[in-house]
Amino acid sequence: MENQPSSDEAGGNGGGAYQEAGVSIQSGNELVNRIKPHVASTARPGASATIGGFGGLFDLASAGYSASPSLIGAIDGVGTKLMVAHAMNKHDTVGIDLVAMNVNDLVVQGAEPIFFLDCFSCGKLDVNVAEAFVKGVSAGCREAGCALIGGETAEMPGLFSSKGGTYDAVGAAVGAVAQGRTLLPDKESMEVGDVLVGLGSSGCHSNGFTLVRSVVEKAGLSYHEKSPWEDTDRSVGESLLTPTRIYVRSLMGVASQNLIKGMAHITGGGLTENVPRMLPENLAADIDVKTWEVPAVLQWLRSTGKLPNEEFARVFNTGLGMVLVVGKANVAQTIRELEAAGETVYTVGKLIERTGEAGCILRNMHLWS
């Protein structure tokens, strides 16, 4: 169930002095009525996803967990990609981003995302904007198979600007790992020669947007003009708002068959910092960057922004949203099943003995230039 908007945590009838001070409870109530069908569309076994209670309920037994599972939580935001959404007045795709950034962090640990909560904070509540945002959150939840069971809409004039519909959003997700299943990464099973498999990204995802906006501004581009990196008629802003890919269903499919030893979600810090997080201290990732295609938007950002290759690899995903550790015997089946699930799959490297501080070695970065 999704909680009622707080409107600065106060009561009242939505009019009079409180409304003159900048908070409209009437707008909050209107939003609740408008988002009901979006939230309800995320219902799944374990949660009805209805609006109106003081807290969200999830029944693990009804979701198929007969014995107490391990629960894993994640919390994240969308960052300054929201500023592109503000500029384009397009707010549904960043709702998908909010879900993606959380559930992708859960699935790499082998957890099934089961429920999600969001917080939408603004200076003046624009019901149309907030509804579009929750519609996107609901779409992301449906794609990830988790229920939207709670939320907060906080109208806080004075803390946020009341002009231009400015808002921030944070989300949290909880995932479950059934008893008897191995939590990932399974570092003890990793060994020299294990294969690194990469899954293609949809573009920038939701990281590095402070740099993205800087490069776009210095290039003299408007978000509303045609994108210089695409052959379509999409604008700069529309292209940049491509949502973060959600990998949950495809990865849960191979993880449930014990085909994966570890997974890394490539977010802030890029390959350089995220891949080592899934590895034991004695192993390093040996990755050849010529083995996958860098999306056009990322190529343009690197070239136009004159980014050193090392910084490019640390700020952006460079075209890989996930990197997996797979034993040699399971590589063919893993690739086959991931491709059948709609993923673009690359064999990008292998595990080697770690001889220095670097946990991720990127070869042939000069080819990016």
Backbone angles phi and psi of 40, in degrees to 5: -60, -30
Mean pLDDT of 137-154: 96
pLDDT tens by residue, 92-125: 999 999 999 999 999 999 999 999 999 999 999 9
Q: Which of 12-21, 148-157, 220-229, 315-324 has the lowest mean pLDDT?
A: 12-21
Instruction: Write the CA distances from 284 to 86, 185, 192, 279, 364, integer angstroms.
Output: 41, 14, 9, 7, 17
Q: Tell me: the pLDDT tens digits for 47-69?
A: 998 887 889 999 999 999 999 99
Q: Residue 357: which pLDDT band, with cuts at 50, 70 and 90? A: confident
Cα dihedral sign for 248, 342, 293, 352?
A: positive
d(CA 123, CA 130): 12
Instruction: Report the distance separating Cα 146 and Cα 148, nearest Å.
Output: 7
Verify cis geometry, omega within 30 degrees of 0, for the bond prior to 185.
yes
Which residues are within 8 A (CB) of 256 and not within 5 positions of it... i.e. 6 or more apart? none
> Are the C-beta atoms of residues 357 and 296 closer than 8 Å to each other?
no
Q: Among candidates 156, 151, 121, 155, which has minimal Cα distance to 135?
A: 151
350 pLDDT higher than 90? yes
24: pLDDT strictly greater than 80: no
For residue 8, pLDDT beyond 70: no
Residue 3 has pLDDT above 70, yes or no: no
CA dist 47 and 38 (Å) reads 14
pLDDT computed for residue 128 by the predictor = 94
State whether the Cα torsion 299-300-302-306 is positive or negative.
positive
Residue 30 φ/ψ, nearest 5 degrees: -65, -40
Q: Nearest Cα to 229, choosing from 179, 298, 288, 167?
A: 298
Report if pTM > 0.85.
yes
